[in-house]
Structure 1
Amino acid sequence: MSDGSTIEWTDATWNPVRGCVKVSPGCKHCYAATFAERWRGLPDHPYGQGFDLRLVPEKLDEPLRWRKPRRVFVNSMSDLFQQGVPASYIRRVFEVMSRAPQHTYQILTKRGERMRSVCSEMPRSLVQQPYVWLGVSVEDRKYGVPRIASLRETPGFLRFLSIEPLLEDLGLLDLSGIDWVIVGGESGPGARPMREEWVLSILEQCRTARIPFFFKQWGGVHKSRRGRCLQGKTYDEFPPGRSGLDPERPARVLPYLAVLS
């Protein structure tokens, strides 16, 4: 699960950490936990310990072996900023990124306060780089929305929101300091529904703030049946400028001034 990805907004995944602990309602049907627990107890399997937290230092240098620039989702099978990951190890991850700056690293967390704390203690030369994109998950008002303020206070070059799974109407968001927004519904068994009006509200706020909007999926038990179209359109927008795109998997970078139609 490292040399390619079916996730629409990235090209590859890199997992120098495995496993995590659920912290909020967005974790209820975690795809990573479901996948990892299938293999618990299987000798010699990467996930033989299920979704228990593990540092995987032998995976640290993986991006150094990738020559073609690509967008890299860092720790798709974990959360780099969970309490069980030492700050010294997090720094090692950032040091590897600095040695392979041809890629764009998309780091997503539900631990916004710890990300702010750890990144504030690291050299700006590691954190505030165009190839490092820092993001937080936002699933609801109680747990997700407060993470936006922590992200805004985190030193970084580019900040993004992954509003997935979107579980309720988020209301009016403060999007100052945010450079990109991804929205998606929950998928798989037990998926909770996402309403169109919730998505359109976020889209309209992004248009007002001139922020690129990426609609990942409607989700559902059979997500492929519902697709990715929002009112007849597909939204594959990325931040302008450096995007770390795989040339074989280009994406549209749409103008900020597009209007809701």
Structure 2
Amino acid sequence: MADNSAIEWTDSTWNPVTGCTKITDGCVNCYAARLAERFRGVAGHPFENGFDITLKPHKLDQPIRWKRPRTIFVNSMSDLFHKQVPTGYIDQVFDVMEQADHHRYQVLTKRSSLMRNYLKRRYADHAAPDHIWLGVSVEHAGARSRIDHLRQAPAAVRFLSVEPLIGPTGPLDLSGIHWVIVGGESGPGCRPMEADWVREVRDECVRQGVAFFFKQWGGIRPKSGGRTLDDRIWSEMPRAA
């Protein structure tokens, strides 16, 4: 787990699972895969297995031992709802989040239908606790079906990570959504993000009363272009928070 995360919209990260596989064009330049693969084969390193799916049960109780309340991004180096992660292990992660409820958790996935189905089973007669935020990635208009899956999930706080934004999203129905994050791609081979794509999402959030957070313009380095949009820093958080 990393304290004092450099990610603007969270405080810390917790990785009871690492590794993933690429499933959409939003994954092409995955920063996590690039970082992990640098250490493949280095004996004893946390990423000795590169970006292969790796369960880390010794990290499950970290939020319980972390006494100061904070906002925690869950699995910044993986996707909790990857098909190779056993349902029983996902149960253990949610058990910890429910037990250590002095924190706020942000769970983000591209495997939106699997998350929806899991949440419907776990929270069959009520919504997930409001300190567990559930979100999906939406990199362009072709990924909007994930928003529908998220809306169908029994969650108290739902959010979208529109990052990397690599194409226009088109009209967005944000009913039932509480927060939208937008960011451009960074790192080698990063694809440029057009300002009008960002404004389109921002304007939908303003029109529909949804909190909007602009993370970065992107570039070779994440902070290269800053995070000012039309002379303003947008750092809104969900009202449900």
CA contact (8 A) 2:159 2:180 kept: yes
Aligned match of 2:61:
61
Equivalent residue, structure 2, for 1:165 = 164
The separation in 2 between residues aligned to 1:235 and 1:3, in whole angstroms, is 23
The one-letter code matched in structure 2 to 1:116 is: R
Q: Please give the alpha-carbon distance, in whole angstroms, between the structure 1 residues aligned to 2:145 and 2:99.
A: 33
Distance 1:115 1:241 in 2: 21
- Cα deviation for residue 223 of structure 1 reads 3.6
Q: Deviations over 1:101-139 (max 9, x none)?
A: 011000000000000111111145896111000000000
C-alpha offsets along residues 197-252 of structure 1, whole Å, 9 cap, x if unaligned?
A: 0100111100111000000000011343310000111001101243xxxxxxxxxx
Moved over 4 A (4+): 124-127
Equivalent runs, 1:126-137 vs 2, <5 Å: 128-137=128-137
Query: Equivalent residue for 1:258?
Result: none
Aligned partners of 1:126 and 1:78: how far apart in 2? Answer: 27
Instruction: Summarize the Cα distance change of 1:126–1:187 in structure 2 as closer, same or farther, 3 Å threshold.
Output: farther
TM-score normalized by structure 2? 0.97
CA distance in 2, matches of 1:99, 1:28: 36
Q: TM-score, normalised by structure 1?
A: 0.90
C-alpha distance in structure 2 between counterparts of 1:49 and 1:241, whole Å = 39
Percent identity for Structure 1 against Structure 2: 52
Q: Distance in 1 between matches of 2:58 and 2:124?
A: 26
Alignment partners' CA distance in 1, 2:149 and 2:2: 29
Aligned counterparts of 1:223 and 1:21: Cα–Cα separation in 2? 22
Q: Is the 8 A contact 2:159 2:177 kept in 1?
A: yes
Residue 150 of structure 1 aligns with which residue? Answer: 149
CA separation in 1, counterparts of 2:218 and 2:116?
30
**CA deviation vs aligned residue, 1:5-57 (integer Å, no higher than 9, x gap):** 10000000000001001000110010100000010000011100100001111
Kept in 2: contact 1:98–1:126 (CA 8 A):
no
Shift in CA distance, 200/233, structure 1 to aligned 2, threshold 3 Å: same
C-alpha separation in 1, matches of 2:81 and 2:233: 32
Q: Secondary structure at the match of 1:205?
A: helix
Correspondences of 1:87-166 after superposition (within 5 Å): 87-123=87-123, 128-142=128-142, 144-166=143-165
Aligned to 1:11: 11
When residues 11 and 124 of structure 1 are mapped into structure 2, their CA distance, relative to the original with a 3 A threshold, is: farther
The equivalent of 2:239 in structure 1 is: 240
Q: Which moved more, 1:121-130 or 1:18-27?
A: 121-130
User: What residue ranges of structure 1 are gaps of 5+ in the alignment?
Assistant: 243-261
Letter in 1 for 2:135: G
Partner Cα distance (1:51, 1:61) in 2: 22
Match of 1:117, SS state, is helix
Question: Within 5 A, what are the aligned runs for 1:196-207?
Answer: 196-207=195-206
- Note the C-alpha offset of 1:140: 1.5
Task: Kindly indicate whether the alpha-carbon contact (under 8 Å) linking 2:178 and 2:240 is maintained by their aligned counterparts in 1.
Answer: no
- 1: CA distance between counterparts of 2:175 and 2:212? 15
Partner secondary structure for residue 229 of structure 2:
coil
Distance in structure 2 (CA, Å) of the matches to 1:64 and 1:224? 32
Question: C-alpha root-mean-square deviation of aligned residues, in Å?
Answer: 1.3
| Conserved? CA contact 1:127–1:156, under 8 Å | yes
Aligned 8 A contact 1:17 1:80 in 2: yes
Task: Give the match's secondary structure for 1:67.
Answer: coil
On the 8 A contact 2:217/2:224 being kept in 1, the answer is no
Q: Distance in 2 between matches of 1:171 and 1:202?
A: 8
In structure 2, the partner of 1:246 is none
Give the C-alpha shift of residue 174 in structure 1.
1.1
Equivalent-residue separation in structure 1 for 2:2 and 2:160 (angstroms)? 22
